[in-house]
């Protein structure tokens, strides 16, 4: 076969050579050890929690080493593309700290454009580049056209399926299909000419001379050493519309774009033999690979399951509405990604996670377990360390979108809101009341008349007369300018005057000999003032609410008794 002639027949318009491409995409000039990584999503939907893993790893490894992180949009499958998905992905990733140095970006009008010298960064715009390398492979006899139409292939496949159901001679069918495919390898120039003249579409297949009996030794940076069978499948490189498959685009793009570390989901591991073959055929240096395990979750029966697209917690865009703070989500991802992260965090409570020395060796080989409880714990911690000002600003911003009525009161008096968020904040052991911004309203809504309601009744075991006596006694001595000790001593005195003890130890030792205790008396006042059994520090609450409001609420409670 005259391969040069074949290449000209198939790609008459391709005049550039791989050498031209190499000249266009010069090797990057980066310091020794700098890693070039990328995130390469297909624009078929939202960012999955599982997608935040490889992208965060890619971000850390690039930026920790003084390298480059870029975003490539893998939009070679127009049928699966969802309009607006690429734009959405870019925004979501930015929210979670995955900041790209180059690649597909949003311009000021919200349209996608390119930033960087290695573009275009959308595969659909790189058709000419792929064809240059495709033509070269044909010239070298490493790829060949296949004129079997998609319909014919589908027909073959459907025969297989039907036979599978009937369970009759499936293997024979498969063998026949393979034989027919392999026969394509021997297509003659005349047949090619005839097909082209008839306008028949073709796909370009690799000529896979691998022997599955032979094993390739390979080291994945996460999974370790492995042996994989060589590839003998003549897989498609270019589809009939000239658009590449993932395999071909991956090899060409990651080579030209100078990727040093390919970080991707482990679902690509079975295709690795194909990729290694392709890099070899093309004469490209193989990058390092890291295949990241899928995220798991526990189902109702405690069994590990893949966190699927439809599972709660999978869609990163849901986190915003649930009220999770992106910083908390990033913190959680780090705890899952590196086994020594939590220890580091304890020793470095105030540092940014970007200062953590991220290590590939500390990554889990099998799947991490996604767990909302753990995320909640991490989140509480992260929020407890924020300043009152930061919390006020973030809650307000969030409420603007998701709780407009709450937003109104927050925005009307930011200082008032901030004084509330300041309660119990700043010390060594800050309060951990908020897991998400959604918790803010139930936590502090009672400060605003608009949201204040008495949420429960006094427990029946208490005598109404005692409750009244405590509330009245409190009102009689309440002075907003008292300091905390004086204020509390007054409440104690009221409690004691009706036989409630202020000595909790004595009460615990012998509860029968008292009508109640100081905690009960405080609760009577708390429920009147806040409408709740639990609230932040009562003294602070009253200082913020002010005399009139405190008295008004206690009086209202008295009237209702």
Q: Which residues bind ligand GLU (CB under 6 A)?
A: 40-42, 74, 250, 262, 264-265, 268
In angstroms, rounded to a whole number, what is the distance separating the alpha carbons of residues 39 and 223? 19
How many C-beta atoms surround the C-beta of residue 256 within 10 A?
A: 20
Q: Toward ligand GLU, which CB reaches closer, 48 or 135?
A: 48
Cβ 371 to ligand GLU, closest distance in Å? 24
Reply yes or no: is the peptide bond before residue 102 cis, omega within 30 of 0: no
Q: Toward ligand GLU, which CB reaches closer, 55 or 148?
A: 55
Q: Toward ligand GLU, which CB reaches closer, 250 or 394?
A: 250
Residue of 36, 46, 19 lying closest to 309 (CA atoms): 46
Q: Which helix (H) or strand (E) element contains residue 54?
A: helix 49-64
Residue of 316, 435, 307 lying closest to 371 (CA atoms): 307
Q: Toward ligand GLU, which CB reaches closer, 138 or 236?
A: 236
In angstroms, rounded to a whole number, what is the distance separating the alpha carbons of residues 205 and 237? 5
Backbone angles phi, psi at 288, to 5 degrees: -85, 150
Cβ 135 to ligand GLU, closest distance in Å? 24
Structure-token pair, residue 91 = 């925004």
In Å, how far from its chain's centre is CA 1? 51
Q: Toward ligand GLU, which CB reaches closer, 265 or 326?
A: 265
Cβ 39 to ligand GLU, closest distance in Å? 7
- Asked if 482 and 490 count as a contact pair (C-beta separation under 8 A), the reply is yes
- Asked if 248 and 130 count as a contact pair (C-beta separation under 8 A), the reply is yes
DSSP secondary structure code for residue 142 in this structure: S
Q: Toward ligand GLU, which CB reaches closer, 77 or 140?
A: 77
Cβ 57 to ligand GLU, closest distance in Å? 11
Q: Toward ligand GLU, which CB reaches closer, 42 or 392?
A: 42
Cβ 250 to ligand GLU, closest distance in Å? 5
Interacting residues of 504 by C-beta distance below 8 A, sequence separation 6+: 517, 518, 519
Structure-token pair, residue 502 = 């202020």
Residue 105 pairs with which residues in a beta bridge? 113
Cβ 25 to ligand GLU, closest distance in Å? 18
Structure-token pair, residue 436 = 């998400």
Q: Toward ligand GLU, which CB reaches closer, 268 or 407?
A: 268
Cβ 231 to ligand GLU, closest distance in Å? 17
Cβ 323 to ligand GLU, closest distance in Å? 28
Backbone angles phi, psi at 143, to 5 degrees: -150, 155
Q: Toward ligand GLU, which CB reaches closer, 35 or 264?
A: 264
Phi-psi domain of 280 (left: phi exceeds 0; alpha: psi -120 through 50; beta: other): alpha
Q: Toward ligand GLU, which CB reaches closer, 219 or 348?
A: 219
In whole angstroms, how far apart are CA 478 and each of 317, 415, 470, 487, 490? 49, 25, 12, 7, 8
Structure-token pair, residue 344 = 């580091």
- Asked if 9 and 190 count as a contact pair (C-beta separation under 8 A), the reply is no
Cβ 205 to ligand GLU, closest distance in Å? 21
Residue of 469, 494, 433, 448 lying closest to 557 (CA atoms): 469
What are the start-end ranges of the E strands in 163-209?
A: 203-206
- Asked if 315 and 46 count as a contact pair (C-beta separation under 8 A), the reply is yes
- Asked if 325 and 382 count as a contact pair (C-beta separation under 8 A), the reply is yes
Q: Toward ligand GLU, which CB reaches closer, 142 or 250?
A: 250
Q: Toward ligand GLU, which CB reaches closer, 170 or 235?
A: 235
Cβ 40 to ligand GLU, closest distance in Å? 4
Residue of 178, 173, 154 lying closest to 163 (CA atoms): 173
Cβ 119 to ligand GLU, closest distance in Å? 17
Q: Toward ligand GLU, which CB reaches closer, 98 or 444?
A: 98
Cβ 19 to ligand GLU, closest distance in Å? 26
Cβ 368 to ligand GLU, closest distance in Å? 18
Structure-token pair, residue 557 = 């409670």
In angstroms, rounded to a whole number, what is the distance separating the alpha carbons of residues 271 and 276? 9
Q: Toward ligand GLU, which CB reaches closer, 250 or 345?
A: 250
Cβ 76 to ligand GLU, closest distance in Å? 9
In angstroms, rounded to a whole number, what is the distance separating the alpha carbons of residues 353 and 330? 8
Residue nearest to ligand GLU (CB): 264
């Amino acid at each position: 076969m005259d391969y040069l002639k074949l290449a000209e027949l198939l790609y008459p318009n391709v005049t550039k050579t791989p050498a031209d491409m190499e000249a266009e995409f010069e090797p990057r000039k980066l310091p020794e050890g700098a890693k070039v990584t990328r995130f390469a999503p297909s624009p078929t939907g939202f960012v999955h929690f599982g997608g935040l893993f490889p992208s965060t790893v890619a971000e850390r490894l690039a930026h920790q080493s003084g390298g480059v992180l870029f975003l490539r949009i893998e939009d070679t499958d127009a049928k699966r593309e969802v309009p607006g998905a690429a734009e959405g992905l870019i925004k979501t990733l930015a929210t979670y700290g995955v900041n790209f140095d180059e690649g597909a970006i949003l311009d000021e009008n919200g349209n996608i454009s390119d930033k960087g010298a290695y573009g275009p960064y959308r595969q659909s715009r790189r058709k000419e580049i792929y064809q240059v390398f495709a033509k070269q492979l044909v010239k070298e006899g490493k790829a060949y056209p296949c004129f079997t139409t998609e319909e014919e292939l589908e027909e073959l496949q459907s025969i297989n399926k039907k036979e599978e159901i009937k369970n009759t001679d499936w293997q024979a069918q498969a063998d026949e299909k393979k034989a027919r495919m392999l026969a394509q390898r021997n297509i003659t120039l005349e047949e090619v000419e005839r097909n082209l003249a008839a306008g028949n579409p073709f796909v370009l297949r690799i000529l896979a001379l691998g022997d599955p009996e032979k094993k390739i030794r390979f080291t994945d940076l996460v999974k370790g050493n492995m042996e994989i069978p060589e590839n003998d499948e003549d897989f498609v490189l270019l589809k009939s519309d000239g658009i590449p498959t993932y395999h071909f685009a991956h090899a060409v793009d990651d080579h030209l774009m100078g990727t040093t570390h390919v970080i991707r989901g482990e679902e690509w591991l079975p295709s690795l033999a194909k990729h290694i073959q392709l890099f070899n055929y093309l004469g490209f240096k193989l990058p390092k690979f890291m295949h990241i395990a899928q995220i798991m979750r526990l189902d109702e029966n405690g069994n590990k399951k893949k966190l699927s697209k439809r599972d709660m917690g999978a869609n990163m865009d849901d986190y915003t509405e649930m009220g999770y703070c992106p910083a908390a989500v990033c913190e959680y991802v780090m705890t899952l990604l590196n086994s020594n992260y939590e220890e580091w965090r304890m020793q470095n409570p105030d540092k940014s996670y970007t200062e953590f020395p991220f290590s590939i060796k500390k990554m889990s080989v099998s799947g991490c377990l996604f767990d909302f409880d753990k995320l909640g714990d991490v989140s509480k911690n992260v929020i407890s360390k924020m300043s009152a000002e930061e919390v006020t600003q973030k809650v307000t911003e969030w409420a603007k979108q998701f709780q407009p009525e709450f937003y109104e009161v927050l925005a009307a008096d930011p200082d008032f809101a901030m004084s509330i968020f300041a309660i119990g904040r700043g010390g060594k052991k800050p309060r951990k009341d908020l897991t998400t911004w959604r918790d803010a309203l139930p936590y502090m809504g009672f400060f605003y008349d608009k949201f204040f309601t008495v949420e429960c009744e006094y427990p029946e075991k208490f005598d109404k007369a005692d409750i009244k006596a405590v509330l009245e006694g409190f009102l009689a001595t309440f002075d907003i300018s008292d300091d905390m000790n004086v204020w509390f001593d007054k409440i104690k005195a009221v409690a004691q005057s009706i036989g409630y003890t202020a000595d909790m130890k004595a009460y615990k030792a012998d509860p029968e000999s008292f009508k109640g205790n100081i905690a009960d008396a405080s609760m009577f006042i708390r429920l009147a003032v806040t409408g709740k059994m639990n609230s932040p520090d009562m003294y602070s609450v009253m200082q913020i609410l002010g005399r009139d409001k405190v008295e008004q609420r206690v009086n209202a409670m008295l009237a209702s008794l």
